Structure 1
């Protein structure tokens, strides 16, 4: 298989990342949504050859992107231009999209999972169901993909579809995106704001937590409001994980985690992945890309200060968010590694942040 984009970079003198650099395993991306919008499984070849967007196989080889959580997401009808325009203001409070019915969500979920399976069939990645699968993929030089679902709209109240999705490889689930489900409520896109924006988990939500624990499906708390977060903390037997969230003490956005939430995650031996989305990084909460890498390091310092060096990683939100202009695609990840080094992070800590901490928490959650 030839990769024209990769060969183009090499002709220009832009080489792949050093083999000694730690691979990045990432807490969240939305490439399946973008491929779905482009045509679904029939367009999977674009991932191998090079596509517009943040993540594909050539860019990943260049940047040392070793894999991550591939999110399945059912989009709401949204005026993105209006949303992004509002999020450049000093304050904003965007209305939550309406709930999506299960029967409407299922075909979208099926198409995106089929796309991920097609990527595996084409040899672009390996769908991992265990930490051992992830380690084997790393050793073989294959991209390691976790099937994750952001929002549980496609899961029926009896949870039968949860078992079906688990059989298909689902190993991580966010009960909500930023809209309500029968399981709970998500936080709005609101700045400034506390994440305490609504009610806790419903009875269906508590049943979902219990069944995910039984199946060893990781629960992602990134979009859940604070009341729902504390319900999971009280009822879940697994480490608390937020795959792509930042520090509310630095950026007081509803999507970010308070220090009390971070302490609860630490006590559970859980994990937080640093979100690259600029509105959750900038102290003014604006969706503007002129964010220096030092701002990302400020969030990392704060997260590490509360969670410790073993419970922080990366959760880029690539292909689903406006990110710092220096890190617009996976091929740019060496810049972040270099910024960490210049900031004073040692090799062991950088390796933990890049992928070892994700392996650790997934082994704790999955049991292997």
Structure 2
């Protein structure tokens, strides 16, 4: 099977979707219908594409054992879970044990085949969503991914309506992998300084500074436009970044803002650095309005993607020996605010976390600005000198 890009009727040139096809370019109808349903439900293009990739693995596995997706049973879903986990599974057709890239001497699975527990659970969730959709819309089968459990009365004597207890059923998932708990890592000041020194270009250092000093998500960073920062003003100490939710027509294939529009106050030094990048380092491409763009290659001047940001962090981690992921800068920023004595409601409003405390506590922009001004007055600047 293969995944191809397809453009549908009445779609704009930049609008395309992934479609699962056979090797002879025949569309897999159940997957296409399911993807159309997800689009109608308002799922983002990236989310639908992830569903398609997950279903490709499942349908290829079904094809390898000679099963149709309509013939799958709970035991088959269990075998598929073993397959995703890189272990040994039994082929129900040939009754032969099949291994997935296992070392014959040690019996260990090749590390390249291993998947994280979260990844496996997401892929199982994709399969479960497909069957749930077919069950609700077409009523053609019962989902093999869930089981029905009946609540029985523990009373000694049965009541008059005890026979109706069989109708009181709850649905629970059959197949999940236990996810190990991860410690949310934050960087120390020395690690921050060492990692930043390992970045090669002015743009890369600026990306690091924006993530570190604002706690933005990657999707929010790459979604910034040229108009989304305040004017440089040497008489002010605090500037601002404006996170704006734009319509789909102006932002192709971009993730939605999780928390809507908000203003993030930053040191004026960062605003001057952004303005310097725009005027001196950013490649000019007519019609491009995004702030951070690719600086070389065929994609020069185009908007950078999530993978590009993650790649530059991986390469810098190898050079400096400091393991750092972009999202860890968000945890670092939040931790430093908490250590500085900020209330959780202020932090939630700044970084855009939709917690109950942030919802029920109304914080004005003036209060946020004053609080950040006090924070930067107590903290050190980029040169390591006390302000």
Q: Under TM normalisation by the shorter chain, which class is it?
A: under 0.3
TM, length-normalised to structure 2: 0.23
Structure of larger gyration radius: 2
Higher relative contact order (CA 8 A, sep 6+): 1
TM, length-normalised to structure 1: 0.23
